[in-house]
């Protein structure tokens, strides 16, 4: 017998977990501020949004830690939900925005903006937009390379991802090398992390994440149909070609925006959907919202760890996610040997 | 009224024509089988009928409406498709999978209604999948999986049901169960199934479409389409229709056409009956002789064999005495032949005439008696007359007790010159 827990309990459990990690991450940090003070500061600013920041504690909490935690949550949610969608789109559990090269592709666009000030005249949104454009190009390239007819085999998908990734990061390196800008800053950004991120970054990411998650949630049912192949989905009345295009472009939007604000953070989109599938099954109406919640929680905790392990210095968060993710990736690869 | 019309459909992959002017129809209440050798375009036809491939020529209509004018969602409410395989790397429970069949009826956000759940229950019940409704798809056996795939299709409440080789991976028991299910489903739906097994098509389908190299060879009731001649042309096999006591339709048994080993000239008449000719007839045909078979009752095994090998035969209705007309014809054939083989058969009042003709021709024509042993008493059901005739033939003609011996004797008896066969005319 195969019984599943009522999704409502899982939503509730995961929301509590997310809130708890957020509170933990806001309370813990380099400068010791006790929890009661933190709550008092947050409560005061919630009641009176216009108030200034009188004390150092207030500044640290309101302008450094809270935006950082919120940003980590949004980036985690974006990457996790993109991973879930890409896995279903490719019907391949090894898919993930990082492994498929979208992250590196997006990084190329973002570097162009950061180093050369390429502009679409969109102010704040230049960066995520450039990341989105180059991310989309990459994912379309990978898809075309990996596809034989309508099937995407694991090995060709992974190899195309590696090839595209390598090509895009080579382009990025070239841009870095020939520019005279502050290389250190860009390289640090590319390694991924939330150090020094502000409310501005939250605003930069917010619309894309909300849009992406919203679009994905409305497509949960057709995504379920797609799990058994494009032909099968068509027979269930799904407009498959349109659905595929929407999914590819929107996952590039969401990933691109996440990369634009946080750099390249790997493996989140691989691990989180798998954990969710283990506990909640493959129905996208449950899988996608839970991936959002658990993805956010995972990255908040990973960021907390990155801040604490060698404090007062910080580890790049990619180190933490790769340390968790790479063994997981190997496990998946081994356990799925023989499957297409 | 549910109805599928396929009208002169053509399809090509690049320069390779896969379908060429194929037409068929399937009305409500019918089970239509699509049969043909590997690579003849069966699956492509199925995909065209299902709307996955768009034909280059011709048209397809559901219930009189052209398929190309139907939006996908509406299409999915009219027809459902059971594909050859179900492949997914992710786990779904059987119930969740069958519920996917409700996709064309559900909105983006609305959850399933009690009606949806009822249709899923119905589909699980009809296919006998209820016992494993909570198991994961990946843990099902081939037979269970096939039922679950059909259940999902039924949950779509289709008027037209298309299935691509629904029984090809199944054990014999599951295969028969699925075929019975398909025939029962035909009641209020139009059902088209690509079938691997020609006997299934023969026994279960109302009409059969026979394809060969992209073209339709025939379309109609199985007995008219799946004839020995058509199967030989299309599949390159010899089909032997065997009456089966347990099923109304005959069972087809297939053999490869045995190549003619040596080109021997000569016309031989074989007199046999009740299976006594089974070793002789096939061997002589394969040796290259021009064979005719003497008077047999309809339903005789020797007659079925002779027909499957394309030998002319003289026949009488079942269980009736061989009439004078047939015996005269037999005598004429014998006079016209280079040699006569009498394959010792049980002889009663009905077929005694065969034996009498052979006895009369002793000395006139080369004759070989083929008999395993010479205890003719147990073959005689005429009270002595038959045994007596066999003894006189055995004295006047060489006797062969094996096929090898028979071939040797015939070679000696028939003069070498090939032209002799027509010399007496």
Predicted confidence at residue A338, as pLDDT, reads 40
Predicted confidence at residue A3, as pLDDT, reads 52
Q: Is A153 on the interface with B (CB under 8 A)?
A: no
Helix (H), strand (E) counts: chain B:
15, 18
Range B101-107 average pLDDT: 90
User: Distance between CA atoms of B341 and B194, rounded to whole angstroms?
Assistant: 46
Range B231-237 average pLDDT: 88
Range B188-197 average pLDDT: 92
Predicted confidence at residue A250, as pLDDT, reads 93
User: Distance between CA atoms of B257 and B270, rounded to whole angstroms?
Assistant: 21
Predicted confidence at residue A155, as pLDDT, reads 74
**DSSP symbol at B68:** G
Tokens of B166: 């629904």
State the pTM of this model: 0.78
Distances (CA, A) of A177 to A180, A327, B233: 8, 32, 71
Q: A31-339 is classed in which CATH architecture? A: Orthogonal Bundle (1.10)
> Do B100 and A228 make contact, defined as CB atoms within 8 angstroms?
yes
| Residue B403: pLDDT band with limits 50, 70, 90 | confident
**DSSP symbol at B295:** E
Please tell me which residue of chain A has the smallest CA distance to B155: A236
Cis peptide before B235 (omega within 30 of 0): no
Give the percent of chain B with pLDDT over 90: 44
Tokens of B273: 């009956």
ipTM of the complex model: 0.80
Q: Between residues B41 and A157, which one has the greater pLDDT? A: B41
Predicted confidence at residue A151, as pLDDT, reads 64
Predicted confidence at residue B415, as pLDDT, reads 67
Tokens of A36: 């009661």
User: Distance between CA atoms of B71 and B63, rounded to whole angstroms?
Assistant: 14
Nearest to A283 among B75, B96, B104 (CB): B96
Q: Is B264 on the interface with A (CB under 8 A)?
A: no
Nearest to B91 among A218, A239, A281 (CB): A281
User: Distance between CA atoms of A237 and A241, rounded to whole angstroms?
Assistant: 12
Q: Is A158 on the interface with B (CB under 8 A)?
A: no
| Residue B372: pLDDT band with limits 50, 70, 90 | confident
| Nearest CA among B382, B383, B325 for reference residue B357 | B325
Sign of CA dihedral B250, B253, B254, B258: negative
Among A18-22, B144-148, B165-169, the minimum mean pLDDT is found in B165-169
Range B236-248 average pLDDT: 77
Q: Exposed, middle or buried: residue B71 (CB in 10 Å: 0-12, 13-18, 19+)?
A: exposed
Residues in chain B: 425
| Residue B7: pLDDT band with limits 50, 70, 90 | very high
Contacts of A178 (CB under 8 A, 6+ apart): none
Q: Which residues pair with B4 in a beta bridge?
A: B26, B62
Sign of CA dihedral B91, B95, B96, B101: positive
Q: Is B73 on the interface with A (CB under 8 A)?
A: yes
User: Distance between CA atoms of A273 and B2, rounded to whole angstroms?
Assistant: 43
Mutation pick from A85, A225, A228 vs chain B, by most beta carbons of B within 10 Å, is A228
User: Distance between CA atoms of B148 and B154, rounded to whole angstroms?
Assistant: 10
> Do A229 and B88 make contact, defined as CB atoms within 8 angstroms?
yes
Distance (Å) from the alpha carbon of B138 to chain A's nearest alpha carbon:
12
Per-residue pLDDT tens for B274-304? 888 888 888 888 788 889 998 999 888 888 8
Per-residue pLDDT tens for B343-371? 999 999 889 999 999 999 888 888 999 99
What are the E-state strand segments in B230-363?
238-242, 251-255, 267-271, 290-297, 313-316, 339-343
CA dihedral of residues B197, B202, B204, B206 (deg, nearest 10): 130
Place of tokens 């007819």: A149
Q: What is the mean pLDDT of each run of 10 residues along chain A (340 residues)?
A: 69 93 88 82 80 78 88 94 90 83 88 77 76 88 80 75 90 83 75 84 91 93 89 91 87 89 87 86 90 94 89 83 82 58
User: Distance between CA atoms of A67 and A59, rounded to whole angstroms?
Assistant: 11
Which backbone phi and psi does A171 adopt, to 5 degrees?
-60, -45
Predicted confidence at residue B416, as pLDDT, reads 57
User: Distance between CA atoms of B127 and B230, rounded to whole angstroms?
Assistant: 34
Predicted confidence at residue B6, as pLDDT, reads 95
User: Distance between CA atoms of B215 and B220, rounded to whole angstroms?
Assistant: 15
Q: Is A224 on the interface with B (CB under 8 A)?
A: yes
Give the DSSP per-residue string, B327-387: HHHHHHHHHHSSEEEEE---B-TTTHHHHHHHHHHBTTB-EEEE-SSS-GGGGB-SSSHHH
Predicted confidence at residue B94, as pLDDT, reads 93
Contacts of A84 (CB under 8 A, 6+ apart): A269, A272, A273, A276, A284, A287, A288, A291
Predicted confidence at residue B252, as pLDDT, reads 85
Give A149's contacts in chain B (Cβ within 8 Å). none
Mutation pick from A236, A238, A289 vs chain B, by most beta carbons of B within 10 Å, is A236
Three-class SS of residue A165? helix
pLDDT at B53 over 80: yes
> Do A237 and B50 make contact, defined as CB atoms within 8 angstroms?
no
Q: How does the average pLDDT of chain B come out, rounded?
A: 87
Q: Exposed, middle or buried: residue B290 (CB in 10 Å: 0-12, 13-18, 19+)?
A: middle
Contacts of B224 (CB under 8 A, 6+ apart): B218
Give B51's contacts in chain A (Cβ within 8 Å). 234-235
Q: Between residues A52 and B102, which one has the greater pLDDT? A: B102
């Amino acid at each position: 017998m195969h019984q599943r827990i009522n999704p409502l309990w899982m939503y509730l459990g995961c929301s509590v977990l997310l809130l708890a990690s957020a509170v933990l991450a806001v309370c813990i940090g380099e400068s010791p501020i006790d929890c009661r003070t933190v709550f008092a500061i947050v409560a005061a600013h919630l009641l009176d949004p216009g108030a200034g920041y009188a004390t150092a504690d207030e500044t640290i909490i309101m302008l450094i830690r809270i935006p950082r935690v919120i940003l980590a949550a949004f980036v985690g949610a974006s990457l996790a939900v993109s991973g879930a969608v890409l896995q279903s789109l490719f019907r391949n559990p090894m898919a993930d925005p990082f492994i498929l090269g979208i992250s590196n592709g997006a990084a190329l666009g973002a570097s162009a903006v950061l180093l050369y000030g390429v502009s679409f005249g969109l102010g704040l949104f230049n960066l995520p937009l450039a990341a989105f454009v180059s991310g989309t190009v990459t994912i379309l390239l990978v898809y075309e390379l990996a596809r034989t007819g309508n099937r995407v085999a694991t090995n060709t998908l992974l190899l195309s991802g590696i090839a595209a990734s390598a090509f895009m990061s080579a382009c990025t390196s070239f841009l870095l090398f020939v520019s005279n800008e502050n290389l250190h800053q860009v390289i640090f950004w590319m390694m991924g992390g939330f150090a020094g991120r502000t409310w501005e970054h939250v605003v930069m990411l917010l619309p894309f994440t909300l849009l992406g998650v919203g679009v994905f949630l409305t497509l949960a049912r057709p995504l379920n149909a797609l799990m058994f192949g494009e032909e099968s989905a068509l027979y269930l009345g799904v407009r498959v070609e349109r659905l595929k295009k929407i999914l590819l472009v929107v996952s590039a939007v969401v990933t691109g925006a996440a990369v634009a604000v946080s750099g390249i953070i790997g493996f989140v989109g691989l691990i989180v959907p798998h954990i969710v599938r283990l506990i909640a099954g493959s129905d996208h109406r449950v899988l996608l919202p839970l991936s959002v919640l658990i993805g956010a929680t995972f990255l908040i905790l990973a960021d907390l760890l990155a801040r604490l392990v060698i404090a007062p210095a910080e580890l790049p968060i990619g180190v933490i996610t790769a340390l968790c993710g790479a063994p997981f990736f190997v496990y998946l690869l081994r356990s799925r040997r023989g499957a297409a | 009224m549910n109805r599928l019309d396929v009208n002169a459909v053509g399809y090509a992959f690049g320069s390779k024509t896969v379908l060429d002017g194929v037409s068929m129809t399937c009305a409500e209440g019918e089970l239509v089988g699509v049969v043909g050798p590997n690579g003849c375009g069966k699956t492509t036809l199925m995909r065209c009928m299902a709307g996955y491939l768009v034909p280059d020529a011709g048209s397809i209509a559901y219930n009189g409406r052209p398929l190309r004018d139907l939006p996908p969602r509406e299409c999915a409410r009219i027809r459902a498709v059971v594909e050859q395989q179900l492949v997914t790397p992710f786990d779904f429970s059987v119930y969740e999978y069958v519920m996917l069949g409700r996709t064309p009826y559900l909105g983006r956000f609305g959850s399933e209604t009690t009606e949806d759940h009822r249709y899923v229950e119905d589909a699980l019940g009809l296919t006998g999948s209820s016992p494993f409704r909570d198991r994961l798809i990946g843990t099902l056996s081939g037979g269970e999986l096939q039922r679950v795939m059909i259940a999902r299709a039924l949950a779509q409440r289709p008027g037209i049901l298309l299935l691509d080789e629904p029984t090809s991976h199944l054990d014999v028991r599951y295969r028969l169960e699925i075929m019975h299910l398909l025939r029962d489903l035909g009641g209020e739906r139009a059902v088209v199934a690509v079938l691997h097994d020609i006997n299934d098509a023969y026994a279960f389908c109302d009409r059969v479409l026979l394809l060969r190299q992209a073209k339709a060879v025939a379309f109609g009731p199985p007995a008219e389409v799946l004839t020995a001649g058509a199967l030989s042309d299309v599949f390159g096999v010899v089909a032997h229709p065997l009456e089966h006591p347990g099923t109304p339709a005959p069972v087809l048994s297939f053999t490869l056409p045995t190549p003619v080993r040596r080109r021997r000239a000569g016309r031989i008449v074989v007199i046999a009956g009740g299976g006594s000719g089974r070793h002789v007839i096939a061997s002589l045909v394969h040796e290259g002789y021009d064979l005719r078979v003497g008077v047999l009752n309809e339903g005789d095994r020797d007659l079925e064999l002779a027909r499957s090998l394309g030998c002319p035969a003289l026949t009488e209705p079942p269980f009736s005495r061989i009439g004078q007309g047939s015996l005269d014809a037999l005598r004429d054939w014998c006079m016209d032949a280079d040699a006569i083989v009498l394959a010792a058969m049980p002889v009663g009042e009905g077929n005694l005439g065969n034996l009498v003709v052979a006895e009369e021709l002793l000395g006139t024509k080369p004759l070989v008696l083929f008999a395993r042993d010479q205890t003719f008493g147990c073959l005689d059901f005429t009270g002595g007359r038959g045994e007596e005739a066999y003894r006189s033939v055995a004295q006047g003609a060489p006797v062969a007790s094996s096929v090898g011996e028979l071939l040797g004797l015939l070679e000696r008896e028939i003069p070498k010159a090939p032209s002799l066969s027509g010399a007496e005319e």
